[in-house]
Amino acid sequence: MLPRYLTVKQYGEHEITIQKSRFIAHVSRAETEQEAQEFIQTIKKKHWDATHNCSAYLIGENDQLQKANDDGEPSGTAGVPILEVLKKRKLKDTVVVVTRYFGGIKLGAGGLIRAYGKATSEGLDTTGIVERRLVQVMTVKLDYTWLGKIEKEIRASEYKLKDIHYLDIVNIETFVDGSKTQSFAEWMVDLTNGQCTIEAGESVYLEENFVRN
């Protein structure tokens, strides 16, 4: 599992007009090729009367699955430009379909490449990019007399509080980067004078909005 990677939020749509042709970018997350293909087919059915429904997707930790489809546009002028934008943005598990309704003015190869690239880029901006960061759930078990202090310390720290379970003893769940689990455990032991038990749980991805510098 990758320690962190960029992908899109669940779904987005954005339309631009170039030389009277409408270009509608449909953006979605897809973690399998089947999900990507199903999304493409859904858009094709929705826009069955469009001149073209061009698509591309990039899937897998190492971008193992890459596919671009021009759907009748001149070879290399639609699907590849869409795919290149995904690569340039360093996105993973993302599928894009750009629907075109022809407006009567031919754009030429260069114009098509720019149009599909622009539609994709603006579609991604509209949808939003997130960073998925791999973290581990660490559970700290301790007496209720420590609850106030430990909860306050965690909330003021770099770590993110997941949940508090009020059982016979209190269980505090915290999201911790995989590389920092040892230092987190040592910190908890120090804060409680060794009066706590710490358990490492499952690894999960946290999503945060990604803002380009």
Could you read off the pLDDT of 60-95 as tens digits, one per residue?
Answer: 999 999 999 999 999 999 999 999 999 999 999 999
Q: Is the dihedral of CA 71, 22, 19, 102 positive or negative?
A: positive
Residues 6+ apart with CB under 8 A from 96: 25, 26, 27, 28, 55, 56, 57, 82, 85, 86, 120, 123, 124
Evaluate if residue 212 carries a pLDDT over 90: no
List the domains of the chain with CATH numbers.
Answer: 4-127 (3.30.230.30), 131-209 (3.30.70.240)
CA 182 – CA 203 distance, rounded (Å): 15
Angle at 122 between CA 93 and CA 52, to 5 degrees: 80
Burial group, residue 53, by CB count within 10 angstroms (0-12, 13-18, 19+): buried
Could you read off the pLDDT of 182-200 as tens digits, one per residue?
Answer: 999 999 999 999 999 999 9
Could you read off the pLDDT of 105-152 as tens digits, one per residue?
Answer: 999 999 999 999 999 999 999 999 999 999 999 999 999 999 999 999
The model carries a pTM of: 0.88
Phi, psi of 154 (to 5 degrees): -65, -45
Phi, psi of 173 (to 5 degrees): -100, 135
The three-class DSSP label of residue 73 is coil
